Amino acid sequence: MKRAAIVFDLDGTLVDSLPDIIASFRWAFGTLGLPAPGETAVRGEVGLPLEAMYARFAPVEAVEALARAYRRHYPQHLADRSRPFPGVRELLAELRGRGYAVAVATTKRSEMAHALVNAMGLTAQVDHVQGTDGFAHKPAPDVVERALAALGAEGRWMVGDTVHDVMAGKAAGLRTYAVTWGTHDEATLRATRPDVLAADLQQLMPVLQRTEMV
């Protein structure tokens, strides 16, 4: 029997990383002498691939240069203000103690995703980190399915903070738990009809205990 797995998004779900992402994203505009969009506008686009985010705010000919600037800056500043959300370390440890495999499935490239997980001290609590490297991004299910394949596990729940996470989880055939402390607000997430919608991750373990047998 395959091990049951819980798949988590990274930014805005496990880690409060949006301030550092947004700061680096906006910083890149200055390298090209372009006006930077406001923080609120950028926040709403987090979860898309980097180039797609820049395409929302910049001329098409500037997108690649902006992305390169971001990728120079962000690795040096990914832990300036980023921290795991309250209770995340304990939750991941409890999940693994109860027999679940824990996977991260993120739109970040794998190298950067590993760097952030390590910087946040979560490496020992995660069985596999899967970035999006040259294949379809969320809301397509590819990154979720690749994470599960790498673990040889059966996916049970997708946990995320954006509509892209919920849609990817549904497309992969998983139940979905949407948390509102990250990128998208309650009303936006509710429109995607996740199985559970909560302010934080505190309800995840009780939900699993009611619905799962491991």
Active site residue 195: no
pTM for this one? 0.92
CA–CA separation, 66 and 82 (whole Å): 22
CA–CA separation, 98 and 93 (whole Å): 9
The gap from C-alpha 190 to its chain's centroid, in whole angstroms, comes to 18
Query: What are the structural domains of the chain?
Result: 4-16+83-211 (3.40.50.1000), 18-77 (1.10.150.240)
For strand 101-105 and strand 15-16, is the pairing parallel, antiparallel, or unpaired? Answer: unpaired
Catalytic hit among 11, 20, 127, 165: 11
Active site residue 9: yes
**Helix 88-97 and helix 204-211, axial crossing angle in degrees, nearest 10:** 20
How would you write the pLDDT of the chain (214 residues) with one tens digit per residue? 789 999 999 999 999 999 999 999 999 999 999 999 999 999 989 988 999 999 999 999 999 999 999 999 999 999 999 999 999 999 999 999 999 999 999 999 999 999 999 999 999 999 999 999 999 999 999 999 999 999 999 999 999 999 999 999 999 999 999 999 999 999 999 999 999 999 999 999 999 998 875 5
Q: What is the pLDDT of residue 213?
A: 57
Collapsing DSSP to helix, strand or coil, 155 comes out as strand
